Amino acid sequence: MKNNLLTIGEFSKRTGCSIKSLRYYDSIGLLKPVYIDQNTNYRYYNFEQTRMAELIQICVNLSIPLKEVKDLAFIDDKVDYKNVIEYGKKITKERITQLNEDLEFLNLLQEHIERVDSYDDKEQKEFDLKEKYYYTAPLYEDEMNDEYYKLLDRLFEEGFSQELYIEHDYGVIINIKDNITTKFAAYEVDKRHSNLENVVKIEEGRFLCKKTNEFNFDKICDMFSCVDSNDKTIIISPGYSYDFSSPYFEVKCRIK
């Protein structure tokens, strides 16, 4: 009976599954040895089972619960490789999509930090910035105080409940048109959410950028009195920087 069979140790080396894991898979009926020696209680596996062990390892790496693997793998006590493979492919594609989105997020954050670090705290500098979309709520405070941060927290909770894809930027958007000022607490979301009622699109364009520790919105707006326009858009964001001694915020005003 033991001819052409692998001991649990040999099977472990061939598949990369630890002996402890193989014993656990046996105990839950996921991967049972084809033969157990009644005298020694040694477990033996055949070569065909290596495929199943490798599939289980892939599922474990994809964080698929073993109960789901078992439900997928067995139909009428027969191993259904097709089910496991198709489900594994589906989860893998979803994981790749998520990893690509995470990589894009990190690239954008790095780009933002390097832009902010490219000019001095006392300078003002013009940059061409890409279009962005912000999930917003009306803001009636005069500065970034506790009430503002409470509103921002509620706004984030709202976004999480709607499963919005949230980008790295957040803060305040100020619109000044014909001397009327409106303010919004805001955070950046993916373009896919552009159809939502309270998502505001900030068109790509040229912005005058400065760094500041100022919390008061009127004083921040006064920083851009040099911008001659009856329709101003000012964005206040955390001044992410590799240098933690930098000012708290970067403020940007559209000039073109």
User: What percent of the chain has pLDDT above 90?
Assistant: 50
- Whether 105 is in a domain gets the answer no
Domain end (from 56, 82, 108): 82
Domain span at residue 47 reads 6-82
Say what the pTM is.
0.66
Q: Identify whether residues 123 and 223 lie together within a single domain.
A: yes
Which tokens hold the place of 111? 């780009």
CATH of the domain at 12: 1.10.1660.10
Mean pLDDT, residues 111-121: 85
Taken in order 38, 43, 46, 51, the sign of the CA dihedral is: positive
At residue 76, the pLDDT reads 59
**Nearest Cα residue to 235 out of 146, 116, 103, 111:** 116
Indicate the residue type of 173: I
CATH of the domain at 137: 3.20.80.10
Please give the tally of structural domains in the chain: 2
Domain end (from 82, 100, 133): 82
H runs (alpha helix) in 117-234: 146-161, 217-222
**Nearest Cα residue to 108 out of 166, 164, 168:** 168
User: What percent of the chain has pLDDT above 70?
Assistant: 94
The answer on pLDDT for 244 being more than 70 is no
**Nearest Cα residue to 190 out of 105, 128, 111, 251:** 105
- Whether 74 is in a domain gets the answer yes
- Whether 91 is in a domain gets the answer no
Q: Identify whether residues 132 and 250 lie together within a single domain.
A: yes
- Whether 181 is in a domain gets the answer yes
At residue 96, the pLDDT reads 93
- Whether 98 is in a domain gets the answer no
Q: Identify whether residues 217 and 135 lie together within a single domain.
A: yes
Give, in degrees to the nearest 5, the angle at Cα 169 between 167 and 172.
135
- Whether 95 is in a domain gets the answer no
SS3 65: coil
At residue 59, the pLDDT reads 84
- Whether 34 is in a domain gets the answer yes
- Percent helix, strand and coil across the chain, each to the nearest 5: 40, 30, 30
In this structure, the strands spanning 78-79 and 74-75 are: antiparallel
Encode pLDDT of 137-160 as tens digits.
999 999 999 999 999 999 999 999
Q: Identify whether residues 136 and 197 lie together within a single domain.
A: yes
At residue 2, the pLDDT reads 65
- Whether 90 is in a domain gets the answer no
The answer on pLDDT for 88 being more than 90 is no
